[in-house]
Amino acid sequence: MDSQLRRGVLDVCVLRSLCDGDSYGYQIIKDISPYLTLSESTLYPILKRLEAMGCLRVYSVEHSGRLRKYYGITETGRERIKEFLTEWEEIMRAYAYIKEAER
């Protein structure tokens, strides 16, 4: 997949995984894994980018004697998902149009 496109899709998948509740790195990877392969080295910059965009809030919780970073989706994050779905409809229309030529 085109890297720009893939990045956009992954961003939204991560946001989607947080719609079911706040989560942490490893859990996010496990939740997404049935749909997409995602490695820690891919997830880390995504989380950073989403945080910088204000799509996530980040906080630490003590967990068995150490700190674990949790990520939660913000309003901006939810907006981003909506935007993506709208954009995607347009892409789907383009897809249908492209596909027509194949027939």
Chain residues in the site for other proteins (CB under 8 A): 24-27, 39-42, 44-45, 48-49, 64, 66-69
Q: Which residues are bridge partners to 57 per DSSP?
A: 72
Nearer Cβ to other proteins (49/78): 49
CB of 21 to other proteins, least distance (A): 17
Element (H, E) at 41: helix 40-52
The CA angle 25-28-34, to the nearest 5 degrees, is: 140
Note whether 77 and 55 are within 8 A (CB).
Answer: yes
* Nearest distance, CB of residue 83 and other proteins, angstroms: 18
In whole angstroms, how close is the CB of 65 to other proteins at the nearest point? Answer: 10
